Amino acid sequence: MRRPIVAGNWKMHGSRAENAELIENLLSHCPENLRAACVVCPPFVYLQEAARLLRGSPFLLGGQDVCAESHGAFTGEVSASMLKDVGCEYVIAGHSERRLLYRESDQLVARKVHAAHGKGLQPILCVGEQLADRDAGRTHDVVARQLDAVLELCGTAFLEQGAVAYEPVWAIGTGRNATPEQAQDVHAFIRTRIAARDARIAAATRILYGGSVKAGNAAELFAMADVDGGLIGGASLKADEFLTILAAADKCG
Ligand code: PEP
């Protein structure tokens, strides 16, 4: 049985005071003996303090992005070993905001996954189509292209501990989530595509859904056979919403 993952992407939100309050609320209401892995991904500058506040708790830490290079003259970038050094275990790679706003190519995303895995970070590889792609019936083509670029460079080994997050761009931050059936269709497609390279790893790969997941829709999304948790944006900034989503993930699988 696959262990679900719920990852909270805080994006560029928060402050030291707000983060401390959010973490305190998460820790004081978090159920014991969680089956789901629970990851929070604050902005880079807050990682070290979040690591301190989360120490000894079931919550794990993740970065929102990583540099494809290991070190050197890359002003503004943060390497995989630096993320490891401050306590991260996971890192998001290829979020649609990085792909669209910062023009990250499929190949760059693949190099980021490679760099992260090489340093022992578990990548959460994001894939997903834009609305125009879905309307034109190109969802599977887009997801296959994004996934294949990574599998070509990295193989499938990073999926043993890492994850793929299916995040339809039209559902991110819009309040319009994919239906459970739409999510299941793409998740099953992703699993089949991985299975073409390695059936054992495909069966073990956690495929997360992301895109306007809330307390009110998490259970029905996570009930689908190939949905193994979620990558959560807006709702991860509210402790009660995030904990309800976490409880729903705990029951999936
Ligand atoms: C995200 O940031 O990856 C995301 C899915 O955001 P939201 O949950 O707000 O749609």
Q: Is the dihedral of CA 4, 205, 41, 212 positive or negative?
A: negative
Please tell me the distance between residue 231's alpha carbon and the centre of ligand 1 in angstroms.
7
* pLDDT > 70? residue 25: yes
**Residue identifier of the C-alpha nearest atom 6 of ligand 1:** 233
Residue 90 · residue 41 · CB < 8 Å: yes
Please tell me the distance between residue 175's alpha carbon and the centre of ligand 1 in angstroms.
9
* Number of domains present in the structure of the chain: 1
What's the average model confidence in pLDDT over 71-90? Answer: 98
Q: Would you say residue 32 lies in a domain?
A: no
Q: Would you say residue 89 lies in a domain?
A: yes
Instruction: Decide: helix, strand or coil at residue 142.
Output: helix
Render pLDDT for 31-70 as a digit per residue (tens, 0 to 9). Answer: 888 899 999 999 999 999 999 999 999 999 999 999 999 9
Q: Would you say residue 204 lies in a domain?
A: yes
Atom of ligand 1 nearest to the CA of 126: 3
Render pLDDT for 157-202 as a digit per residue (tens, 0 to 9). Answer: 999 999 999 999 999 999 999 999 999 999 999 999 999 999 999 9
Among 108, 102, 111, 147, which residue's Cα sits nearest to residue 126? 147
Q: Would you say residue 61 lies in a domain?
A: no
Whole domain around residue 75: which residue ranges?
66-210
Tokens 């306590």 sit on residue: 87
Kindly report the CATH number assigned to the domain that includes residue 204: 3.20.20.70
Please tell me the distance between residue 105's alpha carbon and the centre of ligand 1 in angstroms.
20
Best residue among 172, 174, 209 to mutate for probing ligand 1's pocket (most ligand atoms within 8 Å of CB) is: 172
Q: Would you say residue 118 lies in a domain?
A: yes
Note the pLDDT of residue 31: 85
Distance CA 52, CA 15 (A): 15
Distance CA 249, CA 210 (A): 13
Q: Would you say residue 101 lies in a domain?
A: yes
* pLDDT > 90? residue 213: yes
- pLDDT band with cut points at 50, 70 and 90 for residue 252: confident
